[in-house]
Amino acid sequence: MSRPRFFTPSEVSAHNTSDDLWVCVLGRVLDLSALAQRHKGDALLLPLLENAGKDISNWFNPDTKDVRRFVDPVTQCQRYFTPRGRFLHVPPPGPRSDWACDLSPPWWTDPRYYIGLLSHKTRWIRVINTLTAQEHRLEVCSEETLEEILGRYLSYNSHAHSYTWKHAGAALDMRRTLEENGLRDDDLELDHLGLDRDLFSPALLLHFNDDLTDA
């Protein structure tokens, strides 16, 4: 199976319109743009529009992976718990003539909308091109390999594959994560000491290979 793509919370939050709608559900990132276009104007879409770009995991039971439920004190029957309002694919609490049964999987389990995973911890790094002396600060996912981080850096330098990535004088293994390459995440320790994280972001140095490769 292919490795999932990881996203930072800021990347998800940027997709917050009806035409470009992402949400996070129990660590999974879902692109609901097509769903929103298909149900444009539907009142049941409103709770999703109000929470576009956000983590809505609190709507769901982490054990069942389904919408949370509660026992109705009046009917003593189980109902879906939707304090933000009933949303798409959640059935009404009782029989209704305007409810069309849909046998397709609900959007929160439909694999068509799954695009990756939300990072459990992001890190800031500095990427310094020793050839041009240019420096860029990147927010990356702690689960990402250096090769995946390189993919983020390509927007700044399309020739990034033509460089050897180093830290503290040693070449980095591009198949491994920052932690696996010995770059510890010291954020908690820095917070405990009252030090500014921004002043201690690890620096990755790019050394040009002069291999004449194309972008």
pLDDT value, residue 108: 97
Give how far Cα 104 sits from Cα of 22, 89, 107, 161, Å. Answer: 20, 9, 9, 43
pLDDT value, residue 211: 57
Does residue 1 form part of some domain? Answer: no
Together in a domain, 59 and 90: yes
Together in a domain, 111 and 16: yes
pLDDT in tens, 141-188: 999 999 999 999 999 999 999 999 999 999 999 999 999 999 999 988
Last residue of a domain, one of 89, 118, 147: 118
Together in a domain, 104 and 150: no
- Give the CATH number, domain containing residue 143: 3.10.20.90
Together in a domain, 141 and 101: no
The 10 Å Cβ neighbour count of residue 113 is: 21
pLDDT in tens, 34-55: 999 999 999 999 999 999 999 9
Together in a domain, 109 and 126: no
Together in a domain, 114 and 126: no
Q: pLDDT tier at 102 (50, 70, 90 boundaries)?
A: low
Does residue 101 form part of some domain? Answer: yes
Task: Please list, in sequence order, all residues whose beta carbon lies within 8 angstroms of the beta carbon of residue 214, skipping any fewer than 6 positions away.
Answer: none
Please state the domain count of the chain.
2
pLDDT in tens, 186-207: 988 888 888 888 788 999 999 9
pTM: 0.88
> How far, in Å, CA of 182 to CA of 178, rounded?
7
Dig out the tokens for 89 from the structure: 């694919």
Percent of the chain at pLDDT above 90? 78
Last residue of a domain, one of 68, 90, 118: 118
Q: Which domain holds residue 63?
A: 6-118
Nearest to 132 by CA among 102, 157, 104: 157
Give how far Cα 37 sits from Cα of 43, 109, 115, 180, Å. Answer: 13, 18, 18, 42
Residues paired with residue 84 on neighbouring β-strands, in sequence order = none
Together in a domain, 12 and 98: yes
Does residue 66 form part of some domain? Answer: yes
- Residue appearing with tokens 């409810």: 99
Together in a domain, 85 and 182: no
Does residue 156 form part of some domain? Answer: yes
